[in-house]
Chain A
């Protein structure tokens, strides 16, 4: 399909869920209520690391207004010696994350939960629970967790034969890096650190669960996957999945942080025990202390290049914090770091390090921003060393169709080179800069994903369309789906209603994440819609008494394929819908597919900053995101992903960080001191959409959502270097850090 012939694909249509969202009537998880509802509250560990010797809930249970209490004894155990994968998670860790079992592993780790007739009573009752802790020394930072005398979090984790806080490793290699470095004319090796950051969704985790007397549970929750909610809740409570109906509420941001459960299993057990619906909503403080942020990291990057800019070898060693339980996103770090480049010799290695902070959860291209940061910084330095434009250095080594990436795959047609060329040609790249101003560039990659998706497309009796899909909508995917379905049927998009089903009303659909929702759901919606069109054509053929092969579908009507087929006036969708009973049944079709063909996404960013040399503050003046999205089905929402990810990257680069006190408690668990960008901090974020259609997708779609976070950290850092001549290898580049470095640089002169 080309742009010029599309009516809806590529149009900025109004999203189907828009009116409720702008009028305040859209139901997010905390907005739902039920008669008889009671409130749940969580008791959390006051210690960063402690053995739990005993828990006495009797006083809480006796407290007036308390209807149920939950402890780890109520949660199904997954023994540590038996891996139990569920997607990218492992239930051994999930069951210990929703509630501490043997140990409290971080300050804020749930230890018990109470349901009572008011939030206040539930919170009071929590205080009556007596927990006997044996407080243990804690380690938060990677270095502390790796020190020879570090407290070992888990005696079942060993590395190289010894108890360790290294829970796993992952490596990619290509060629022979030693030989590659030997060929290099210039080699640069640098160490980098990044602090842990939070996804920062404005909506705290929330759920409402009602378990009926027969044990059947209905869950309304804010999540990035109702099937994940059902599966995890089922596994953790022992309730069969067929007895759980998980309904996705509208979700107020996730960015990966809502791809696991925290409250649903607790609320389910509380509801079961009490016989009442139980609502649980996290406070912002609980979100910041106890939900999964992303890893802090250390890395060592070494890149060698010839004088002409050809990279001969590149190596990245990464250490990522997992939090209290294994599972940091080393896969994203080591897989994506070198992905934009055609390098003959490469190696990436990642260590998964546990420490006493909340278990990390996915954050938009998990691991990839960390992986790319050091690489993109060192490339900048190599470009300077060689006297090359940093975009030219990347162009010289850019991966293309046919390149075999260090992390394994051979790339199909994709638009990385186009993003670099567009950056070079963009007005932004030529705009003049003033004093204390600088410009930086960086590139990035994310795998993207396909995975399971289900959809139903049903024609209403009055000739309109209801599409049910299976993925929570976090970015406007319903709008894109409406565009596609309308395009295929040749009708006005306003006649297509797109809804998100729950686990009882739609087939299995994998998480909303991995930049896969539009990619995957459009495949099943396309399949379903095409099947519906087949049914419509067959019905028309029956009415006209001709061969179904002789009927075509165009602009919302069935038509004879040609003069030979017969002179029949077209039959519209409305007319056919009214005669559905003549076809033998309702007009509708569904599809459930494990979609494939998702190809990685590539982007390049240009960032201009101005540094106040006396205060160390950094102002982002101008920012451009250039990215190959395959096909922008709904351009505004594609732009929105590019802009949102870029601003998250700016926050990560400049001011966001977890601050811990000496007791291992988060010192800034709120939006006051966890400093995310506010409107006055940002310029407009320009976007340049590149469309190199993905040949494996019916509309050419590539996932777009995650790539925009990946290049931003280095783009900002490289811009600051250009402005003031200082290379920052540690994030965030907050004002005291910047000023200190400027002062030291001045002193050194």
Chain B
């Protein structure tokens, strides 16, 4: 017989209390597209499921006065897509989230869930890493901020302390001429887990890249921030040599495994290929902004 409990608190404080009280067997429910799959597969048997979709802060999207955004951790991809400006400023972050699964999945899946599930192949994460997004969490010991790049610590693991709940993501304001992009390699055209995922965030001024950041997914136990790739792009006109160097940096940063989705050799090669393509898209978008 099941002894799972379900609750849908209205406030974050209630959620934190219940989640902490539930200990190791407690789970947060946002879109459920990871949790219910894991429950169905017998991988997890929650003692208490804390549904966070009634908590305003986790489900709202706010454009701040300085041009940044605060996105609730439980906001579904389809909802984020309907926001009038988020996707114009962060198209890469949005497309990463909305490549997860299918239309049905995108109706539910969230950045918070995708990040906290800790899959190295999470589509929502590389562009967030490249964006320099920061996650705010709240737990029994209060609130704190964690840069998204520091959240994943290994397959299925995050740096959130026991009892901490993802609350919202803060995306910084950006200078004009900035945009981002996310591309992944999958065998089909949809529905697959990323074999490689690349998020590139750039600022362009007069044809020169003045700032860049590269997030690389599915090629290591966690999503990587590839600083060497960024360095190769910054100051360049994104010419072939710069892109080659950035691509090589991505390939070098790879530390993948052979599994049913891809081989080490394949992932390493494709990381470089995707970097170039993603950077090109981000640059084109940045030029248009």
Which residues of chain A have a CB within 8 Å of any CB of chain B? 120, 285, 614-617, 619, 654-655, 659, 667-668, 671-673, 675, 677-678, 680-681, 734-736, 739-740, 743
Are B260 and A740 in touch, CB under 8 angstroms? Answer: no
Q: What chain A residues lie within 8 Å of B141 (beta carbons)?
A: none
Q: Do A675 and B188 form a contact, CB below 8 Å, given A120-B1, A615-B273?
A: yes
Are B273 and A655 in touch, CB under 8 angstroms? Answer: no
| Contact partner, A736, options B1, B192, B262, Cβ 8 Å | B262
- Report which residue of B41, B188, B265, B273 has the largest number of chain A beta carbons within 10 angstroms of its beta carbon: B188
The residue in chain A whose Cβ has the minimal distance to the Cβ of B274 is A615
Q: What chain B residues lie within 8 Å of A675 (beta carbons)?
A: 187-188, 191-192
Are A678 and B187 in touch, CB under 8 angstroms? Answer: no
Q: What chain B residues lie within 8 Å of A736 (beta carbons)?
A: 262-263, 265-266
Inter-chain CA distance A673–B260, complex, in Å, is 8
Are B187 and A672 in touch, CB under 8 angstroms? Answer: no
| Contact partner, B188, options A616, A659, A667, A677, Cβ 8 Å | A677
Are A678 and B189 in touch, CB under 8 angstroms? Answer: yes
B13 at the interface (CB under 8 A from A): no
Q: Do A659 and B260 form a contact, CB below 8 Å, given A614-B273, A675-B187, A735-B266?
A: yes
Q: Do A120 and B260 form a contact, CB below 8 Å, given A672-B191, A734-B187?
A: no
- Least distance between B261 CB and chain A CB atoms (Å): 7
Q: What chain B residues lie within 8 Å of A285 (beta carbons)?
A: 41
Q: What chain A residues lie within 8 Å of B190 (beta carbons)?
A: 678, 680-681
- Least distance between A560 CB and chain B CB atoms (Å): 63
Q: What chain B residues lie within 8 Å of A659 (beta carbons)?
A: 260
The residue in chain B whose Cβ has the minimal distance to the Cβ of A682 is B189
Are A739 and B188 in touch, CB under 8 angstroms? Answer: no
Which applies to chain A's interface (DSSP): helix, strand, loop or mixed?
loop
Q: Do A615 and B185 form a contact, CB below 8 Å, given A675-B192, A735-B266, A739-B266?
A: yes
Inter-chain CA distance A680–B266, complex, in Å, is 24
B270 at the interface (CB under 8 A from A): yes
Q: What chain B residues lie within 8 Å of A680 (beta carbons)?
A: 188-190
B237 at the interface (CB under 8 A from A): no
The residue in chain B whose Cβ has the minimal distance to the Cβ of A617 is B187
Q: What chain B residues lie within 8 Å of A655 (beta carbons)?
A: 187-188
Are A739 and B269 in touch, CB under 8 angstroms? Answer: yes
Number of chain B residues whose Cβ lies closer than 8 Å to a Cβ of chain A: 21
- Per-position 1/0 for B264-289, Cβ under 8 A of A: 01100110010000000000000000
List CB contacts (< 8 Å) of B170-205 with chain A. Answer: 185, 187-193, 195
List 6 interface pairs A-B (beta carbons < 8 Å), by A numbering: A671-B191, A672-B193, A673-B193, A673-B261, A678-B188, A736-B263
List CB contacts (< 8 Å) of B26-42 with chain A. Answer: 41
Inter-chain CA distance A7–B281, complex, in Å, is 57
Which residues of chain B have a CB within 8 Å of any CB of chain A? 1-2, 41, 185, 187-193, 195, 260-263, 265-266, 269-270, 273
Which applies to chain B's interface (DSSP): helix, strand, loop or mixed?
loop
Q: What chain A residues lie within 8 Å of B189 (beta carbons)?
A: 619, 678, 680-681
Q: A655-B188, A735-B187, A736-B266 are in contact. List 5 more A-B contacts (CB 8 A).
A: A654-B187, A675-B192, A681-B188, A734-B187, A736-B265
The residue in chain A whose Cβ has the minimal distance to the Cβ of B259 is A667
- Least distance between A133 CB and chain B CB atoms (Å): 21
Are A668 and B187 in touch, CB under 8 angstroms? Answer: no
Inter-chain CA distance A667–B191, complex, in Å, is 18
- Least distance between A661 CB and chain B CB atoms (Å): 9
Inter-chain CA distance A739–B273, complex, in Å, is 12
Inter-chain CA distance A740–B263, complex, in Å, is 11
Q: What chain B residues lie within 8 Å of A743 (beta carbons)?
A: 269
Q: Do A615 and B270 form a contact, CB below 8 Å, given A120-B1, A667-B260, A736-B262?
A: yes
- Least distance between A678 CB and chain B CB atoms (Å): 5
The residue in chain B whose Cβ has the minimal distance to the Cβ of A618 is B187
Are B192 and A672 in touch, CB under 8 angstroms? Answer: yes
Are A740 and B266 in touch, CB under 8 angstroms? Answer: yes
Inter-chain CA distance A734–B261, complex, in Å, is 10
- Least distance between B40 CB and chain A CB atoms (Å): 9
- Least distance between B223 CB and chain A CB atoms (Å): 20
Inter-chain CA distance A594–B204, complex, in Å, is 76
The residue in chain A whose Cβ has the minimal distance to the Cβ of B262 is A736
Q: What chain A residues lie within 8 Å of B260 (beta carbons)?
A: 659, 667-668, 673
The residue in chain B whose Cβ has the minimal distance to the Cβ of A118 is B1
Inter-chain CA distance A484–B193, complex, in Å, is 48
- Least distance between B265 CB and chain A CB atoms (Å): 7
Inter-chain CA distance A736–B261, complex, in Å, is 9
- Least distance between A619 CB and chain B CB atoms (Å): 8
- Least distance between B184 CB and chain A CB atoms (Å): 11
- Least distance between B114 CB and chain A CB atoms (Å): 15
- Report, nearest first, the 4 A-B pairs whose CB atoms are least far apart: A736-B266, A680-B189, A614-B273, A659-B260
- Least distance between A630 CB and chain B CB atoms (Å): 35
Q: What chain A residues lie within 8 Å of B2 (beta carbons)?
A: 120
- Report which residue of B1, B185, B187, B192 has the largest number of chain A beta carbons within 10 angstroms of its beta carbon: B187
Inter-chain CA distance A681–B188, complex, in Å, is 6
The residue in chain A whose Cβ has the minimal distance to the Cβ of B196 is A615
Are A740 and B265 in touch, CB under 8 angstroms? Answer: yes
- Least distance between A421 CB and chain B CB atoms (Å): 34
Inter-chain CA distance A588–B269, complex, in Å, is 71
Q: What chain B residues lie within 8 Å of A671 (beta carbons)?
A: 191
Inter-chain CA distance A673–B191, complex, in Å, is 9
The residue in chain A whose Cβ has the minimal distance to the Cβ of B277 is A614
- Least distance between B52 CB and chain A CB atoms (Å): 25
The residue in chain A whose Cβ has the minimal distance to the Cβ of B40 is A283
Inter-chain CA distance A672–B41, complex, in Å, is 13
